[in-house]
Amino acid sequence: MLIEGARALVCGGASGLGAATARRLHAAEALVTIADLDREHGVELVEELGGRAAFMRCDVTDPAAVDEAVIAARGDGALRIAVNCAGIGWAEKTAGKRGPHSVEPFHKVVAVNLLGSFHLLRAAGAAMLNNEPDDGGECGVIVLTASIAAYDGQIGQLAYSASKGGVVGMTLPAARDLAGNRIRVCTIAPGLFDTPLLAGLPEEARAALGAQVPHPARLGAPGEYAALAAHVVENPMLNGEVIRLDGALRMPPR
C-alpha cells in the first residue's frame, strides 16, 4: 500500500505509539486523522504536523464514535490505512489477600483494548470494502496493537493479557474475512516500550526494565513501533500476522 496521498486513521494517536505512528505516516505524506480521548495533546500534535492532519475526539469503547472517526478520516475520498494504538493497563491478581479480582477494571481493560480494536476493525474494514485498488492492487491495510503479554503474561496481568490475547486471536480470521476485498490485517505485539504506560515509573525502574531486554538492552522507542507499522502498510505480503517487537524478550513471571 502506497502511503503517500493515502487517507489514514490512527486511534490512540495523541501520544505514545499512536503519536509516533501519526508522525511517521504524515512524514510519508499521508492525510492523517488522529482519534483520541485526549483532545489537548491531539490538537497539539495536529498543530505540530501542520497540513494534512486533523484531530477528532473518540472513545474507542463506543462503536458509534469509532464509526464517526472512520467517516471523518475517509472524508470525500477513500480510507486506506487504519491503525489502533488505544490501550490501557491494570495490575491485579486473579485472587489474593484482598479477595477476587475486581470485576469493573477487568471489563474496562477488555472494553478499551479488545472491544476498541474490534470497533476499529469492523468500521475500517467496512469503509475499505468498496475502495478502488491502488497501483499495487490493494484496497486497505489495518494494523492492530497487542502486546507480548498476550503470550508472556506476568503476575497481575490477567486483564491486560486477556485483552491483548483477544486481539491476537482476531488477527488471522479478520485477515481471512477481508482478503477477498484486498484488505490486509496485521497486529504488532510490542514488548517494553517507552510510552505513557511506563512514564510514571522512576528512571531507575525504567532502566531496570530496559535491561531485561536481550538486545537492545533498553526500552523500545515509539518511533521503532511506527517504523514497523509503516512497513506493514507498505509490504503487501504481510497479512494475518502478529509480529513481536520485543528485542527477543520473554517476560518472566514477575
Catalytically active residues are 160
Closest residue by Cα to residue 11 from 65, 77, 60, 72: 60
| Cα–Cα dist 115/152, whole Å | 21
DSSP reduced 3-state for 76: coil
Give the cell for residue 186.
496485521
Closest residue by Cα to residue 5 from 183, 135, 177, 101: 135
DSSP reduced 3-state for 41: helix
What is the residue whose three cell numbers read 481471512? 176
Give the cell for residue 210.
530496559
